[in-house]
Amino acid sequence: MKKILIVAILAALISALFVFDAQQYLAPEFYQAWFAKEPLLTGLMFFAIYVLMTALSIPGAAAMTLIGGAIFGLGWGLVLISFASTFGATLAFIISRLLFKDWVQKNFSDHLKTINAGVEKDGAFYLFTLRLIPIVPFFVINLVMGLMPIRVVTFYWVSQLGMLAGTAVFVNAGAQLGQLDNLSLSGILTPGIFGSFVLLAMFPWIARTLLKRFKNNRILSKFTRPKTFDDNLLVIGAGAGGLVSSYIAAATKAKVTLIEKHKMGGDCLNTGCVPSKALIHAAGLAHDMRKAKEVGIHAADINVDFAQVMQSVQDGITEVEPHDSIERYSNLGVNCLTGTATIIDPWTVEVQTENGVQRRTARNLIIAAGARPKVFPVEGLEEVGYYTSDTLWGITEQPKKLLVVGAGPIGCELAQSFHRLGSKVTMVDPAPQILGREDSDVVQAVTEQFISEGVQLKLDSLPTLYKIVDGKKIAVLKTPQGTEEVEFDALLIAVGREANTTGYGLEALDIQLDKRGNIAVDEHLQTSMPGVFAVGDVIGGYQFTHVSAHEAWYASVNALFGHFKKFKVDYSNVSWATYTDPQVGRVGLNELTAKEQNIAYEVTRFDLGELDRAIVDKATKGFVKVLTVPGKDKILGATIVGAIAGELIAEFVFAMQHGLGLNKILGTVHAYPTMMEANKYVAGEWKRNHAPEKLLTWVEKLHSWRR
């Protein structure tokens, strides 16, 4: 009955607005006529109408504010409008709460948990931010806040304060216009009116700047800022993100300290990109030697010296090490410290080194602490023992039977490599397919190759128990058919990675983490703590070396020069490759992500079996697939499956980065015979599919006539 009564009152008020021609109340002439006779009554009438319009969320508040300033002047206009807007907003808030809050909270409670918690904890500040900088219209704020767990009294006083500055700017502009008698250009361009409009235009920027400073000071108030700093920038972690961050700082003549507790180069050099690609190279050579007989080259039996293969992997790391060494970066101007870092406050880091403890201060910090392999607890796991992509590289004896748990890029690359080196490999994953984020045709191509080589795939399966029976290691799998046991000598866990967010004092800053446990950053890569930035695997997202380096440029430049200009990190054309055979290279959207984002697209495909170079190289398995805007040659994304796909994708990355379409690729001369020609041919397929048929009909008639 309460809700019915409210709806009835609202309906009556809205009907009355139509009956009494409410539009007349938005005309300055209406109030000017009354103000000359009854100034007090005019003020009360204006106040009531303003409250009513705001309560009913009727557009026109900005116009009414300017009118109020013109009629009543800055002083009384500000008083009237400030209180009228707040009263009206509070009424709209109460109406929204009475009509909709219970229903919304009941039906969407799961989705609103995070929002409710944030509003309960810091709702007043959120509301003040929205009032000071109207990111969304005020009437929307009134209605939405009515659904949130915030007290009416809090809503009123925060709205009163938050809207005051903006109201004053608008009322002042109206007051200046109200003094205007001369409608000529010289009359309009008086200092008062010109200044009012400049202030009106600059207010959002001024408010945003002041609010940000207030917010930062509020967060940093519990810490004591050093009077001077040892460094301009201090970087924790010497992986790709940390190395590039410190390199850029040193190149711009900033004083920078880089702290690494383990090995320079991070995961990429020591346990990731470099060793895995060295292993893939060795495995590929063994596979190619077995295939050589297909072209008439008969080699002796292939004998894999696994210990020497792994030594070759280590030799590769050793050869690359100087690129990431302390010596190199010291020569570049970076102060490199080896030790365990502990963050004390937003400017201070304590470093435990072999020579003792030292403290360093810096204006800004960059956290590049990386990530580690994720391991889910399963009964018996510790008993049988296991490897991860971090610990695998110390192995010297080849496992006869390798069980790989996880069929993502890392699991697939390592599973195929060990199989080609002579291990019998079984790969297990709870998903129905390998490479879960790739399109079905991509998955099919790689899956067929795995099966043809003899890799055993156990999909839709999950290890539930590990045990040792008569000296043999056994994994018990839960499969769609029931349970199955798989024997193995060695176990590799490759089920993803998780950010390193503990062990270096991150808790001291109370930095926010996202729902996956990564450090949350904004579009400038700054954390919730002002002046502290984060890059690389520790923030999740694209966990690739080249993306970490890409992020490092933005973080270091924003940290060092953000008080002049900040740059938003750009992920629009990130490419990546999975180094299985066939390789998978991708940039932008694939069909899976386009459908998820409800983006319309066309697909153009070229099979490598039609490419001369692929035919003579016996590398015909694969294809190039491009997604474009329907009817246009604008590239939305490209996927390449086949030999050197990771190299071939670069042309599409360049094209997308610079806004070039398939017509430009088609018009580019490609050397013959190369695999790169596949990119031109897929552009040709698109052109053929979009040929101007009507025009060609007339051209055909022209040729016929000329004959």
What is each CA distance from 620 to 97, 140, 158, in whole angstroms?
65, 58, 67
Q: Where are the domains of the chain?
A: 2-219, 231-264+325-373+499-561, 381-495, 575-693
- How far apart are the C-alpha atoms of 420 and 448, rounded to whole Å? 15
SS3 letters across 509-536: HCCCECCCCCECCCCCCECCCCCEEECH
Range of lowest pLDDT (13-27, 231-245, 588-602, 649-663): 13-27
Q: Which of 4-8, 362-366, 413-417, 565-569 comes out lowest in average pLDDT?
A: 4-8
DSSP string, 249-310: HHHTT--EEEEESS-TTHHHHHTSHHHHHHHHHHHHHHHHHHHGGGGT--PPPP---HHHHH
pLDDT value of position 185: 39
User: Shortest CA distance to 493 belongs to which of 447, 436, 429, 556?
Assistant: 429
CB proximity list for 470: less than 8 A, separation 6 or greater:
none
Name the token pair of 491. 């176990």
Peptide bond preceding 409: is omega within 30 degrees of 0, i.e. cis? no
On the question of a cis peptide bond just before residue 673, with omega within 30 degrees of 0, the verdict is yes
Say which residue the tokens 């950010």 belong to. Answer: 499
> Which class is 231-264+325-373+499-561 in CATH?
alpha beta
For residues 479-488, average pLDDT: 94
| Gap between the Cα atoms of 12 and 310, Å rounded | 83
Return the amino acid letter for 368.
Answer: A
Instruction: Please name the amino acid found at residue 574.
Output: V
575-693 is classed CATH 3.40.50.300: no
Between 3.30.300.30, 1.10.3720.10, 3.40.50.11540, 3.50.50.60, what CATH number should domain 381-495 receive? 3.50.50.60
pLDDT average, residue stretch 248-261: 96
* Distances 511 to 120, 209, 349, 525 between C-alpha atoms, Å: 19, 22, 15, 13
| Euclidean distance between CA atoms 515 and 371, whole angstroms | 16
Measured between alpha carbons, how far is 508 from 343 in angstroms, rounded to an integer? 7
Evaluate the CA torsion angle 697, 703, 706, 707 in order and state its sign.
negative
List the one residue out of 195, 160, 173, 181 whose CA is nearest residue 68. 173
For 122-163, write each residue's pLDDT tens digit. Answer: 667 767 777 666 666 777 777 777 777 778 888 888 888 877
Spatial neighbors of 656 by CB under 8 A, at least 6 apart, are 572, 573, 587, 588, 635, 638
CA gap 314, 306 in Å, rounded: 13
Q: Is the per-residue pLDDT at 704 higher than 80?
A: yes
Matching residue, tokens 């379409």: 661
Question: Does residue 371 sit in helix, strand or coil?
Answer: strand
CA distance 42 to 36: 9
Residue 270 to residue 3: CA distance in whole angstroms: 66
Taking only the tens place, the pLDDT of each residue in 372-411 is 999 999 999 999 999 999 999 989 899 999 999 999 999 9
pLDDT of residue 317 exceeding 50, the answer is yes
pLDDT tens digits for 404-440? Answer: 999 999 999 999 999 999 999 999 999 999 999 999 9
Task: Collect all residues with Cβ–Cβ distance below 8 Å to 186 and sequence separation of at least 6.
Answer: none
Domains 231-264+325-373+499-561 and 381-495 share a fold: yes
**Centroid of chain to Cα 98:** 38
Inter-residue contact 287 to 418 (CB < 8 Å): no
**Residue predicted with more confidence, 8 or 489:** 489
Between 527 and 195, residue with greater pLDDT: 527
Amino acid identity of 220?
L
Going by C-alpha positions, the residue among 570, 165, 556, 97 that lies closest to residue 365 is 556
Q: Tell me, what's the pLDDT at 492?
A: 97
Mean pLDDT of 57-82: 80
Instruction: Find where tokens 């490609």 sit.
Output: 670
